[in-house]
Structure 1
Amino acid sequence: MTATKGYAAQAADQPLAPFTFERRALRPHDVQIEIMYCGVCHSDLHTARNEWGGTVYPCIPGHEIVGRITNVGSEVTKFKVGELTGVGCLVDSCRECSNCQQGLEQYCEVGNTWTYNSPDPVDGTNTYGGYSKQIVVDQDFVLLISDRLPLEGVAPLLCAGITTYSPLRHWKVGKGHKVAVLGLGGLGHMAVKFAASFGAEVTMLSTSPSKEEDARRLGASHFALTKDPAQVKALTNQFDFIVNTVSAPHDYNMYLKMLKTSGTMICVGVPPEPSKIIGGYLIGNRRSVGGSLIGGLPETQEMLDYCAEHNIVSDVEVIDMSYINEAYERMLKGDVRYRFVIDMASL
């Protein structure tokens, strides 16, 4: 066991604060990672404040982790001390079900182990995330990071990046496709970057006219203000795909009408309440609604390698660990472009 410093929520109505705890001793296939940067995901806030239910306290969030290996278990073969590595949303799965066998650990049929607020399959203890100085993870759930990119910009790729990369690859989005991205936030800005990089013609759909300049800088060819009925009407039957990143309540039907025949709306945001869909908008034009959850380990490594080759990182604001509660409040206001990343040297 190793004593470790972190930041934890002790209850849903309490701010995150310094917390000392113990990381497990290395198991044979474990690597120990000194955390250098950790991205701040909206899921961290939801979990810390128990907005989804089921939070076990104390809770240490953080699943966009980049760091350097400081120690390895006796049977580790994939990594060595000193290598730059990353840890995303998963730290274990059953590894035997059909999905795990296909490298789709995010859809483990038995139940995967999340990086934080999840029972460890070996000893049952609650997992603690990346708002800490170090982490211990099985080598099969660790990713190799290139040193060719700024590490603070790489960290959000472990969640925001793979959450948008995976569905774009699954639906084979590329040259010749017209793609709309709904919502320009942590997920949306990565969806624009990837879709444009894959050769698609990208339109940004937003309620904020102030985001047009950023959308075009990120790779969007067009911008539409969804508060303008005339602009919305002009987009009827225009898109092969819509990547819907919005987690706030909104009208899916308004956007379904923007899809061409056989078009698909890909949902990666999770609104807090059920959404009503008019069946005629699907049936009349053979439209579809799909969803996607992060990516498996092989695909996440593929994404990291692609980003290193094409110089793609997240747009980030680096913060000190002590600023995390202010960062949460700013996230709620949409006041970040486009991901907070904690410099763990500040802890």
Structure 2
Amino acid sequence: MQVEAFAAMKAGGPLESYRYDSGPLGAEEVDVRVTHCGICHTDVDIIDDHHGIGRFPAVAGHEAIGVVEAVGDGVDTARIKVGDRVGVGAIAGSCMRCTTCIAGRTQFCAHRDDTVLRGVGGGFARYVRASQWRHVQPIPDAIPSAEAAPLLCAGATVFAPILRYGVRPTDQVAVVGLGGLGHLAVQFLAKWGCEVTVISRSRNKEQDAYSLGATDFVASGTPGELEAAAGRFDFVLSTVTADLPWGDYLDTLRPGGTLCFVGVPPSSITVSAMNLLPNAKTIGSGIPGGIEDTRQMLAFAGRHDIRSQVQTYSLPDLDKALDSVREGSARYRAVLEL
């Protein structure tokens, strides 16, 4: 099939119409006609080649919502069929044979198909192909497509650690940063039953935090506020892409608490062993969840009215949308409508 996509032809270049042949449909594959695609900071990283792993032409996009156009012969049509509204997220396939896949931890498959790393084949296109049908997620009727798109990466990224680290409804938790990831994390944790504190440098987003379900707010740029939170939290989820005094954030944990990173700071994470050892604290991390984690996340979001707050852009404004992500001005997620 000939696919019209929108590609950066070189690092940092504008996106241009680009056509490629997707080849014959494999037995386990699914073609999805894209109607909406979220724009994640990772897409910008690939287009601008921040980490030296971009493949050009680069068709980014890994939060695609659309309609199933075709399915391979090996697809279980009781679960995925032509005409279904579905999502293809950060992981579009895995081998389904290795020990991690068999254990249900498909996100750790050494042969997983990361949608944004394909070169061509990302979601900024008229069609996107999932290489393994089990990774194609039906979208709950309650969630509009534009609001569903960011859930496939941002939502899956912040929800999976709640499961992995055993966060309890009785826990006191903190979310560091109120952006594309953080605004979803607050909603998930609040609906999970936790008391949620947002930690942000200034009070610019304080009212947003409360409207999303937070019960408290710490302005870390105000002298003494972060220090006053020492020993308060069972779990701290950092969603920021900034270097912060991580020892101070570990100090906000109760004994046995966990500081989990889902945002990627630009420099090494440096802490003293004495921030960890005396009270058996833990540093962890998270990536988008596997097939079942993502299914549970979507069901939970639909059931509890959890929504991405989005700004939508049409195709002529795609580069403008990318700039909003580069500048951090999107409030809180940019979504392309095709």
Please tell me the TM-score bracket, short chain as reference.
over 0.9
Match of 2:147 among 118, 132, 153: 153
Indicate if the aligned counterparts of 2:60 and 2:120 stay in contact, CA closer than 8 A: no
Indicate if the aligned counterparts of 2:5 and 2:17 stay in contact, CA closer than 8 A: yes
Provide the TM-score with structure 1 as the length reference.
0.93
Map of 1:52-131 to 2, 5 A cutoff? 52-77=51-76, 78-108=79-109, 110-118=110-118, 126-131=119-124
Say which SS state the counterpart of residue 210 (structure 1) adopts: coil
Map of 1:206-245 to 2, 5 A cutoff? 206-245=200-239
| Alpha-carbon separation, structure 2, partners of 1:274 and 1:111 | 27
**Alpha-carbon offset, residue 322 of structure 1:** 2.4
| Alpha-carbon separation, structure 2, partners of 1:336 and 1:228 | 25
Aligned to 2:129: 136
| Alpha-carbon separation, structure 1, partners of 2:243 and 2:165 | 25
Identity of aligned pairs, percent? Answer: 34
Q: Can you list the C-alpha shifts for 1:108-140, whole angstroms capped at 9, x where unaligned?
A: 1x332211323xxxxxxx551100011122312
**Alpha-carbon offset, residue 316 of structure 1:** 0.6
Say which SS state the counterpart of residue 203 (structure 1) adopts: strand
Say which SS state the counterpart of residue 328 (structure 1) adopts: helix
Aligned partner letter, 1:88: G
| Alpha-carbon separation, structure 2, partners of 1:54 and 1:170 | 28
**Alpha-carbon offset, residue 13 of structure 1:** 3.1
Indicate if the aligned counterparts of 1:91 and 1:113 stay in contact, CA closer than 8 A: yes
| Alpha-carbon separation, structure 2, partners of 1:197 and 1:76 | 34
Aligned partner letter, 1:65: A
Say which SS state the counterpart of residue 116 (structure 1) adopts: helix
Indicate if the aligned counterparts of 1:166 and 1:299 stay in contact, CA closer than 8 A: yes
Provide the TM-score with structure 2 as the length reference.
0.96
Indicate if the aligned counterparts of 2:40 and 2:325 stay in contact, CA closer than 8 A: no
Aligned to 1:171: 165
Aligned to 1:47: 46
Q: Can you list the C-alpha shifts for 1:71-119, whole angstroms capped at 9, x where unaligned?
A: 22223223111111111111222222221112211111x332211323x
| Alpha-carbon separation, structure 2, partners of 1:319 and 1:325 | 10
Indicate if the aligned counterparts of 2:43 and 2:116 stay in contact, CA closer than 8 A: no
Aligned partner letter, 2:128: I
Unaligned ranges ≥5, structure 1: 119-125
- Sort the Cα spacing of 1:334 and 1:13 in 2 relative to 1 into closer, same or farther, 3 A: closer
Indicate if the aligned counterparts of 1:40 and 1:339 stay in contact, CA closer than 8 A: yes
**Alpha-carbon offset, residue 57 of structure 1:** 0.5
| Alpha-carbon separation, structure 2, partners of 1:176 and 1:275 | 29
Say which SS state the counterpart of residue 186 (structure 1) adopts: coil
Say which SS state the counterpart of residue 166 (structure 1) adopts: helix
| Alpha-carbon separation, structure 1, partners of 2:206 and 2:225 | 14
**Alpha-carbon offset, residue 19 of structure 1:** 1.5
Indicate if the aligned counterparts of 1:251 and 1:275 stay in contact, CA closer than 8 A: no
Aligned length: 335
- Sort the Cα spacing of 1:141 and 1:261 in 2 relative to 1 into closer, same or farther, 3 A: same
Aligned partner letter, 1:129: G
Q: Can you list the C-alpha shifts for 1:254-289, whole angstroms capped at 9, x where unaligned?
A: 211111111110111111221211111111222111
Aligned to 2:20: 21
Aligned partner letter, 2:233: F
Aligned partner letter, 1:99: T
| Alpha-carbon separation, structure 2, partners of 1:321 and 1:242 | 37
Aligned to 2:4: 5
- The answer to which of 31-40 and 90-99 deviates more is 90-99
| Alpha-carbon separation, structure 2, partners of 1:329 and 1:134 | 23
Say which SS state the counterpart of residue 155 (structure 1) adopts: helix
Say which SS state the counterpart of residue 308 (structure 2) adopts: coil
Aligned to 2:189: 195
Aligned partner letter, 1:114: D
**Alpha-carbon offset, residue 309 of structure 1:** 1.5
Moved over 6 A (4+): none
Aligned to 2:267: 273
| Alpha-carbon separation, structure 2, partners of 1:8 and 1:208 | 37
**Alpha-carbon offset, residue 321 of structure 1:** 2.2
**Alpha-carbon offset, residue 243 of structure 1:** 0.3
| Alpha-carbon separation, structure 1, partners of 2:250 and 2:74 | 51
Indicate if the aligned counterparts of 2:44 and 2:326 stay in contact, CA closer than 8 A: no
Indicate if the aligned counterparts of 2:46 and 2:116 stay in contact, CA closer than 8 A: no
- Sort the Cα spacing of 1:79 and 1:289 in 2 relative to 1 into closer, same or farther, 3 A: same
Aligned to 1:122: none
- The answer to which of 333-342 and 167-176 deviates more is 167-176
